[in-house]
Amino acid sequence: MGSPQVKIRLPQDTANSYEWNAFVRYSIDVLDTIDGASKYGEINEGEVFLEIEFIPIENAEELVEKVLKDRLKKAKKETEHMGLALMKNSTCFGCHADKATHTGPSFSEIADRYENTSTHIVSLSNSILEGSKGLWGNTEMPSNPDLTVSETEQISKFILEQGAKKNNWIIPGLEGTFRIIEKPKNIEQGFYILTASYTSTSKMRGQDSILLNIR
């Protein structure tokens, strides 16, 4: 029993090279010996995530190729943040997204409101455990009695860190479109690393990382 195979697909004509501000259409192929294949509709798309990481190169004198090679190697080996893994395992993504507001506030809104300090981690962790109402609006967040305090603290840390990364996104689903940012004034070059991952029903994780070149 191996890890699921995951592959990111982009339109072939782009050669993984995009202009600033361009839309990037992607799809993710998943193949797992037990769960089946995404092309036959056998994969639960709620278990498939694309992580998009922006890499600014402020000074092209840097050894760009080396930096990128190292980052890509790191992305390929990287294990998932515990907090993210726990959220994927729970119901959170049914109501929350990284940068978009759904039933609950986005990670980005949460990170804008609370600084990443131990006091806020404790209070967020408590909201997740006990449920919450009235802090953001009239909709209630149900309690999560099946999580432990150390788990909800991991999750809170993850939400605050990820929410604060304005140019990095996490999007669930087997396909979609995202938009490359406008060129920041202070940088010479930019790249994105895309990492797609799938966690199978037998809790095996497969992933794929690729590099996008921004022109």
Chain positions 125 to 154 lying near ligand HEC, rule: CB under 6 A, are 127-128, 132-137, 139, 141-142, 144
What's the DSSP call for residue 101? -
Nearer to ligand HEC by Cβ, of 121 and 171: the residue is: 121
| Residue whose CB is less far from ligand HEC, 94 or 176 | 94
Strand ranges (E), 3-155: 5-9, 17-18, 23-32, 36-37, 48-57
Q: Is 84 in the site for ligand HEC (CB under 6 A)?
A: no
Q: How far is the CB of 165 from ligand HEC (least distance, A)?
A: 16
Q: Does residue 170 belong to the site contacting ligand HEC (CB under 6 A)? A: no
Q: Does 96 bind ligand HEC (CB under 6 A)?
A: yes
Beta strand residue intervals within 58-180, DSSP E? 169-172, 175-179
- Decide if residue 94 touches ligand HEC (CB under 6 A): yes
Query: 41-67: buried (b, 16+ CB within 10 Å) or exposed (e) per residue?
Result: eebeeebbbbbbbbbebeeeeeeeeee
Size of the site for ligand HEC (CB under 6 A): 27
Q: Does 103 bind ligand HEC (CB under 6 A)?
A: yes
Please check whether residue 67 is in contact with residue 57, taking contact to mean a CB–CB distance below 8 angstroms: yes
Tokens of 137: 């609006």
Chain residues in the site for ligand HEC (CB under 6 A) = 87, 90-92, 94-96, 103-105, 110, 123-124, 127-128, 132-137, 139, 141-142, 144, 155, 159
